[in-house]
Amino acid sequence: MSVVLIRPLAVRTVAVSDPGDLLTRLPDAMPYAWIRHGEGLVGWGEAARIVIPPGPDRFDRAREWLGSLFDGARIDDEVEAPGSGPVAFGSFTFDGDAAGSTLVIPRTVLARRHGRAWLTTIGEAGSVPVTSPVEPGRIRYGDGTLTAPEWEQAVARAVRRIRSGTLDKVVLARDLTATAERDIDTRVLLSRLAVRYPECYTFSVDGLTGATPELLVRHTGRSIESLVLAGTTPRGAGPAEDAARGVALYASGKDRHEHACAVASVQEALAPLCSTLDVPARPELLVLPNVQHLASRVSGRLSDGASVLDVVAAMHPTAAVGGTPTGMALRVIRELEGMARGGYAGPVGWIDSRGDGEWGIALRCAQISGRRARLFAGCGIMAGSDPVAELAEAQAKFRVMQYALEG
């Protein structure tokens, strides 16, 4: 394991007055963030970091590392709320056999939740000047691993596999490259995403930046919540077309079956951990600026002291980002996508020393490095999928990060 840390952690959390827009307080062009409707946490600096080796025990290793740090920390927390005290931001790769899963405990975290605001510092709390974010300038796009026609061919191959009875569903992703005139300041992207997509969770961890609509799990005490999304249609050109698209999505047998598979996988993962579990009988329609989704809000109560990372480990990967059955879907993804997803469609979020936290699925995102960005989009492929329609859906999902880059 690759580890960087300050030991022992000397942590202090104090209540502060409302800081306003949290994102405008960030002094670092590559910060840590988790924001929805203006609330959440932002962080900068680095008190501890671990790069977790790939393998089936990666979540266990992450939990053990955090436990050793948090148990030995000197914590002075006058707020004592979810997200106060020491907090780690994390990103796990989609593929458990891929390298790159990371947890970072920032030196400074500024938070606002439920009408309260606080500041957490580790070590000496020095003042860091906030510089103005710099626009990335003109953006040039290029093909990723597969061209659009090649990706359509991959979708067609996946449909044939499904119709042969090999599997029920597989999620295929594609990537797109972007090159900016100047180094990409993540703060610019975060601000645009938070304003344009307030219903989503705007996040940034080690350059993986986006606005995901999908909450994998929120853990507060023993209560957990999850928002399951599967089944998508682009927004219409006007109100009438938009409404018609929503009605068609809700009535679509293909999309309702895809959604039912995703809900079933979440229910199967959570049931052994929960004393009670509430799963809606029917989905609702979640309308976002670029697409509409079928959505189900699942809630439950844990039967023991499982942390949010324990729940994440049990749930990932869901059928919404992998497929059904999981093992076969993962094999088909590796064969047909032809690319490494990295953190795309993997868990991303935060955890505190109580085991509380919020983790989403890293969707509608890009990996930022210098002047370059690698954008991702994926679609659930079913027996009735049309490659041309799936490509259009992926392009609609790319628009989230294209907007963030271009403004």
CB contact set of 105 (below 8 Å; sequence gap of 6+) = 5, 9, 46, 47, 48, 49, 69, 86, 87, 88, 89, 122
Residue 225 near residue 299, CB atoms below 8 Å: yes
The Cα 20–Cα 130 span in angstroms is 15
* 64 among known catalytic residues: no
Contact 257, 277 (CB under 8 A): no
**CA–CA gap between residue 323 and residue 265 (Å, rounded):** 9
- What token pair was written down for 7? 């030991």
| Structure tokens belonging to residue 182 | 């100047």
Residue matched to tokens 């994926």: 378
DSSP bridge partners of 224:
219, 300
Closest C-alpha to 47, from 18, 81, 74: 74
User: Annotated catalytic residue: which of 124, 152, 199, 214?
Assistant: 214
Segment holding 328, helix H or strand E: helix 326-337
**The one catalytic residue among 152, 169, 337, 358:** 169
Active site annotation includes 214 = yes
* 343 φψ region: left (φ > 0), alpha (ψ -120 to 50), beta (else): alpha
Maximal CA-CA distance, the chain = 62
Which active-site residues does the annotation give? 169, 214
